[in-house]
Amino acid sequence: MKISVIGLGKLGFPMAKFLKKFNFEVSAYDINQKLCEELKINDKTYLSSEVGINKYKKKIKIFNSIQECLLNTDITYVTVPTPSLRSGKFSNKLLLNVLDNICTFIKAKSKKQPHIININSTVSPGSFEEELIPFMEKKGLINDIDFSFIYNPYFVALGNVFKNLESPDYILLGYSSNQALSKIKLIYRKIYKKPILKPMSLKEAVLVKLLVNCYITSKISFTNFVKKLTDKNGLTSAEVVLEAIGSDKRIGNHYFKQGGPFSGPCFPRDNLALINFCKSMNLNHLIPKTTNKINISTYSDMFNILKFFKRNKFKKIGFLGISYKPNTDDITESVALKLMQESKKLGMRVFYYDNYVNKNIKSFKRYKNLNTLIKHVEILFISYLDKKNNKINFRKISKTIIWDIFEFTKNKNIKKFSNIYQLKKLLKDK
Ligand SMILES: NC(=O)c1ccc[n+]([C@@H]2O[C@H](COP(=O)([O-])OP(=O)(O)OC[C@H]3O[C@@H](n4cnc5c(N)ncnc54)[C@H](O)[C@@H]3O)[C@@H](O)[C@H]2O)c1
C-alpha cells in the first residue's frame, strides 16, 4: 500500500519515518519548501531531541509538489496544524487547503476506488459532518465512493513520539466505510503483532480524542487541588498523599504526581475545545470548566510566589528549561515561559538555560552553561522532571534558592521550596 504523508511537523515527520520503517512506500510533502529542501539533503538533525529517532534511518521520499506526492498513493495521512480559534474550536482552514489538493488529485486519477484520507490532526466535534465531507461533496466528489475519511489521532507526547508510536495503548479509528476501515487495519496489522484497534464512528472518535485529554487534565487539576490541601496543612506531603491515592488501581499513578499546571500544545486547547462543544450543545460542562479553572488558579498561586519574591527584593530569577517538557523544543503554553513573562512584568531580571530549545527567546538572557546560570540568579525554577537534571549537584549551589514544584531534589541540605509556606519558612530561618 502506498502512503502519502502531508505535513511534516512534530507529528507528521515521525509518523512518516515510522511507516517507512515497516516497509510501506511513503511519499511526503510539506508546504514549507525550505523544510522539504533541508530534509531532502539531510534529515538527521530535524527533531533530533525526539528519543529514539536515530533508529529510524530509512529516508522518506520528499516532494516539492503536493500533486506529485499524492500520485499513485492509496491513502493520505494528514498532519497539518488545526490552530485554536478564540472560541476554543479548532480551525480546519489548513486541512481544507490540503483537501482541496486531494480533490484535484482524485479527479485526475484513473483508478476509481475511494482514496482514503486519514486525518491525524485534532479536529473539533462536527468537523467531518459539517465541514470536511461537505467540502469534498461541493467539489463534486461522492463520500465513500471517491474518498473515505478515517480519523486516527495519535496519543503521543512530544519527545516520546517514537516510543508512543511503537507501543500505543490502542489505535483509535473513526470511520464511515467498512472498506476504508479494512485497509487501515491492514496497515496497523503489518506494524504491530497484536494491535488493539478501537474502530468507531467518526463522531465518536473525535469525542474520544478530546475526552481522553479532558480526563488526564482533570487528573492533573485534582493533583493540584490535593497539593493545595497538603501545602496549607504544612506538615503533609502531596507526594506521599498522591502516591497512596494513585496506588488504588481504580485511579492509577500516571499523570498523578505533584507538579504544576497542565501545559503544552494539546492539553489546554483540547480542554477548551471540549468546553466550546458543550456550550454549542447547551450542555453542562462543569468538568472541563472546573479543570481549567483549577489550572488558572494553580498559575495564580505561582504568580503570587513571584510577587512575594518581588516584595522581598529578589531581583534575579533563573529557569532550568523553557519548553513545556524535556526532549522537545516546543514552548507552547509552557509553564516556565508564563512565569518568565510574569517575572519580567514585575521588573525582575530573567535568565534561563535549556537543553532542548536552540532558538533564543527575546527579552530573556540565555546562559549556555547551567553552572553560570545558577551562579547569577537568586532563585532557580526547575521547569520539568528531566533525567539530565539528575546529574546536577545541588549541594554545590549554596546561595541559590531552588523552586522545585516536582519535589525533585531530595537533598535536605539545599535551600528549596515547592510552595509559599515552605518559602516563607525558608526565608524566616535564614
Ligand atoms: N504535537 C503533538 O504533541 C500533537 C499530539 C496530538 C495531536 N496533534 C495534532 O496534530 C496536528 C499537527 O501538529 P504538529 O505538532 O505536528 O504541528 P506542527 O506545526 O509541528 O507541524 C505541522 C506541519 O504542517 C505543515 N503544513 C501547514 N499547512 C500545510 C499545508 N497546507 N500543506 C502541507 N503542509 C502544511 C507545516 O509547515 C508544518 O511543518 C495538530 O492538529 C495537533 O493538534 C499534535
Identify whether residues 162 and 17 lie together within a single domain.
yes
Higher pLDDT, 390 or 403: 403
Nearest to 76, CA basis, from 177, 6, 175: 6
Identify whether residues 43 and 97 lie together within a single domain.
yes
d(CA 49, CA 159): 7
Domain presence at residue 201 = no
Residue whose CB lies within 8 A of the most ligand 1 atoms, among 8, 10, 267, 324, for a mutation test: 10
AA letter at 153 = P
Task: Give me the domain span that covers residue 282.
Answer: 212-428
Task: Note the pLDDT of residue 390.
Answer: 78
Is residue 181's pLDDT more than 80? yes
- In which element (H, E) is residue 62 found? strand 61-63
From the alpha carbon of 264, which atom of ligand 1 is closest?
Answer: 3
Task: Note the pLDDT of residue 183.
Answer: 97
* 17 alpha carbon – ligand 1 mean position (Å): 15
Closest residue by Cα to atom 27, ligand 1, is 80
Task: Note the pLDDT of residue 351.
Answer: 97
Residue whose CB lies within 8 A of the most ligand 1 atoms, among 11, 49, 94, 269, for a mutation test: 11
d(CA 342, CA 403): 16
CA atoms within 13 A on the CB side of 417: 20
Last residue of a domain, one of 170, 195, 220: 195
Give burial (CB, 10 Å; 0-12/13-18/19+) of 333: middle
- For 224, phi and psi rounded to 5 degrees? -70, -30
Identify whether residues 184 and 287 lie together within a single domain.
no
C-alpha dist (Å) from residue 303 to 252, 296, 300, 339, 362: 30, 10, 5, 7, 21
Nearest to 384, CA basis, from 342, 337, 314: 337
Helix (H, G, I), strand (E, B) or coil at 190: helix
* 397 alpha carbon – ligand 1 mean position (Å): 41
Identify whether residues 154 and 231 lie together within a single domain.
no
Identify whether residues 84 and 146 lie together within a single domain.
yes
Which CATH number goes with the domain that contains 321? Answer: 3.40.50.720
Identify whether residues 93 and 153 lie together within a single domain.
yes
Mean pLDDT of the chain: 95
* 366 alpha carbon – ligand 1 mean position (Å): 28
Instruction: Specify the DSSP class assigned to residue 74.
Output: S
- For 33, phi and psi rounded to 5 degrees? -65, -35
Q: Contact 393/201 with Cβ under 8 angstroms?
A: no
pLDDT tens-digit profile of 245-256?
999 999 999 999
Residues enclosing ligand 1, CB less than 6 A? 6-12, 29-32, 35, 79-82, 94, 97-98, 120-122, 153-154, 156, 158, 265-266
Identify whether residues 128 and 228 lie together within a single domain.
no
From the alpha carbon of 122, which atom of ligand 1 is closest?
Answer: 41
How many other C-beta atoms are found inside a 10 Å radius of the C-beta of residue 46? 15
C-alpha cell of residue 30: 510539506
Share of the chain above pLDDT 70, in %: 99
Identify whether residues 9 and 95 lie together within a single domain.
yes
DSSP letters, 272-291, are HHHHHHHHHTT---HHHHHH
Domain presence at residue 103 = yes
Identify whether residues 137 and 268 lie together within a single domain.
no
- In which element (H, E) is residue 213 found? helix 202-233
From the alpha carbon of 155, which atom of ligand 1 is closest?
Answer: 6
Average pLDDT of 271-295? 97
Give burial (CB, 10 Å; 0-12/13-18/19+) of 288: buried
d(CA 369, CA 303): 27
Average pLDDT of 413-421? 91
Domain presence at residue 34 = yes
Identify whether residues 126 and 233 lie together within a single domain.
no
Domain presence at residue 204 = no
Q: Contact 343/351 with Cβ under 8 angstroms?
A: no
From the alpha carbon of 121, which atom of ligand 1 is closest?
Answer: 41
Residue whose CB lies within 8 A of the most ligand 1 atoms, among 80, 85, 94, for a mutation test: 80
* 349 alpha carbon – ligand 1 mean position (Å): 34
CA atoms within 13 A on the CB side of 49: 18
Identify whether residues 56 and 139 lie together within a single domain.
yes
Helix (H, G, I), strand (E, B) or coil at 83: coil
d(CA 387, CA 368): 19
* 381 alpha carbon – ligand 1 mean position (Å): 30
Last residue of a domain, one of 195, 229, 264: 195
Domain presence at residue 207 = no
What is the number of domains present in the chain? 2
Is residue 231's pLDDT more than 70? yes
Res. 321 pLDDT band, cuts 50 70 90: very high
* 119 alpha carbon – ligand 1 mean position (Å): 11
Residue whose CB lies within 8 A of the most ligand 1 atoms, among 47, 79, 269, for a mutation test: 79
Is residue 395's pLDDT more than 70? no
Task: Note the pLDDT of residue 398.
Answer: 67
From the alpha carbon of 9, which atom of ligand 1 is closest?
Answer: 21
DSSP letters, 307-364, are HHHHHTT--EEEEE--SSSTT----TT-HHHHHHHHHHHTT-EEEEE-SS--SPPTTS
Closest residue by Cα to atom 30, ligand 1, is 31
From the alpha carbon of 12, which atom of ligand 1 is closest?
Answer: 16
* 367 alpha carbon – ligand 1 mean position (Å): 30
* 80 alpha carbon – ligand 1 mean position (Å): 4
Task: Note the pLDDT of residue 430.
Answer: 64
* 296 alpha carbon – ligand 1 mean position (Å): 26
* 234 alpha carbon – ligand 1 mean position (Å): 44
Identify whether residues 377 and 231 lie together within a single domain.
yes
